[in-house]
Structure 1
């Protein structure tokens, strides 16, 4: 089979696309004919060596996938040949990556794909959908009627947070940096969409949220959180979710934080137990079926262009060059 892999960490140019041996599924694994994969920031950090997750080389890159079951191991109970599935959390902790024509994945990390959902959608919504759902509900206990703020509502995780929070009955404030992104956020259902370049952004957030008591849940997707401004906007007993900014070292406003009884919740989705992520996946599938969750597919490319896709993702995430709308999706040829 063809696969995108690396023999060493480094720039996107280290990614090769060539023939590798077909995977042989173990007793609890499912062999998936890959229909689509998507690119995540964590994929670029692992490839670059910034996150030490690679157990051996050559290393097939990628965490997300969607496709059709080719065969199953002797102990697999939930799937059979011909089923459509999606999943995430591959390429981590010794698990094989997904950027290949075939992937052998333990059934614990796979979920049925809704009939109307395309493989491109399922792959695009995999890691970001799980991250948003686990963060909002398992960790932050979002309740109907609360105010949620999320930076970058047209991005991968941001667009998922907007949709899932609205589906749960929350009031959602989000930001964007271009006319196209602002329009996407409005289409996703955000109650208030603000230009993050605005000189009075914080005043606009407060004007909307204060009648509700302030921001109850601040979902931070940016690499450099600004906790002074965040804490000042929070409602008493509000929650701040941090799931980005690995190298960030912001100043922390201790006094304003504790006198409001606030909480900060940090989490990385790849630490989640398979059962926790499966529960979130089941909810995402139901929301999709009821038109309350629509993964955002952005640029679509052939799998053979994995190096260019990584460069595009890295430029947008790290170098902040241009705007990515939706997820980069790659399709095996």
Structure 2
């Protein structure tokens, strides 16, 4: 099969012919129809993501959608011909989705939503799993709560907004001037962080009380702002980018709580993979009921142009999630 191979950090991926994978016990062989590109993928290529534990030579690509071609022993939840999607590799030394075929752990996948194309389905897994772990597993968002999502037009934030809305929350999302229309169109109240400070939007939308749940998809100063925006006593901050050094004093002074999300853990440790498959099933159900769809970049790329796809992410010129189609 053809695959995009990382031969050395900070070099372009090389298109090579490599042996077809064989599904082992508990695995399925998937013909990859679409591979979603995440900022983490580009950081791995540059050697800037040691936590992902992916060393050259390696096939990258965390997210995928495709068709089951063969089923290994002890696999019962899917069968040959099923269209599936999931967050299945590209970290922890596991071959990723930038290839024509991938042998993946069946626990990590679910049937692709009928309402979405392969490209759309491949743009969902990492972002939705991150959002679910934060909003559902950690914060247990319920109907009527006020939820603030930082980076509401981003790859994770855009899906988080839809998930919070589906759970009945009143959703607010921050973004720059160019993101305001996108945020409003997906159903959230848009907040321009370049013109409105934390105290201002906390006063305007919560009468100074703070938001029940604050989701940080940006990190750095935005996580600090989250600590100042959360509701006193009962508020909860969730972040997928809680790295670096932060003062917990603003959070402590509000009597609020914090949780971190590290979405890669099941792939890195082998523990909790069934839960990721469950989350994918929930994503499919939500999409088929019209409550979930990704925002795609205007162009999809064949495998031969994978480095161009990565450049768009690295240069921050993507207008939505970027996908690579190995069979295009």
**TM-score (ref. length: structure 1):** 0.90
Mapping for residues 76-95 of structure 1, pairs under 5 Å: 76-95=75-94
Distance 2:223 2:182 in 1: 27
Residues 66, 122 of structure 1: 8 Å contact kept: yes
Rate the CA distance shift 1:228–1:34 in 2: closer, same or farther, 3 A: closer
Gaps spanning 5+ residues in structure 2: where?
267-271
Structure 1 SS opposite 2:235: strand
Distance 1:257 1:185 in 2: 27
Aligned to 2:203: 206
Mapping for residues 85-124 of structure 1, pairs under 5 Å: 85-124=84-123
Residues 65, 118 of structure 2: 8 Å contact kept: yes
Rate the CA distance shift 1:244–1:227 in 2: closer, same or farther, 3 A: closer
**Deviation, structure 1 residue 233:** 2.1
Rate the CA distance shift 1:56–1:159 in 2: closer, same or farther, 3 A: closer
Residues 223, 239 of structure 2: 8 Å contact kept: no
Aligned length: 319
**Deviation, structure 1 residue 14:** 2.7
Q: CA deviation digits over 1:246-280, x for unaligned, max 9?
A: 4x323x142x4224221111111111411221222
1:194 matched to 2:184: no
Residues 64, 88 of structure 2: 8 Å contact kept: no
**Deviation, structure 1 residue 245:** 5.3
**Deviation, structure 1 residue 54:** 4.3
Aligned Cα root-mean-square deviation (Å): 1.9
Rate the CA distance shift 1:268–1:89 in 2: closer, same or farther, 3 A: farther
Mapping for residues 1-333 of structure 1, pairs under 5 Å: 1-10=1-10, 13-52=11-50, 53-54=52-53, 57-179=56-178, 181-190=179-188, 192-200=189-197, 202-210=199-207, 213-236=209-232, 237-244=234-241, 246=243, 248-250=244-246, 252-254=247-249, 256-272=250-266, 273-298=272-297, 299-316=299-316, 322=317, 324-332=318-326, 333=328
**Deviation, structure 1 residue 200:** 4.3
Distance 2:182 2:144 in 1: 23
Distance 1:15 1:48 in 2: 10
**TM-score (ref. length: structure 2):** 0.91
Residues 54, 90 of structure 2: 8 Å contact kept: no
Residues 221, 244 of structure 1: 8 Å contact kept: yes
Aligned to 2:269: none
Distance 1:230 1:109 in 2: 31
Gaps spanning 5+ residues in structure 1: where?
317-321
Residues 239, 264 of structure 1: 8 Å contact kept: yes
Segments ≥4 residues shifted beyond 6 Å: none
Residues 206, 233 of structure 1: 8 Å contact kept: no
Residues 154, 325 of structure 1: 8 Å contact kept: no
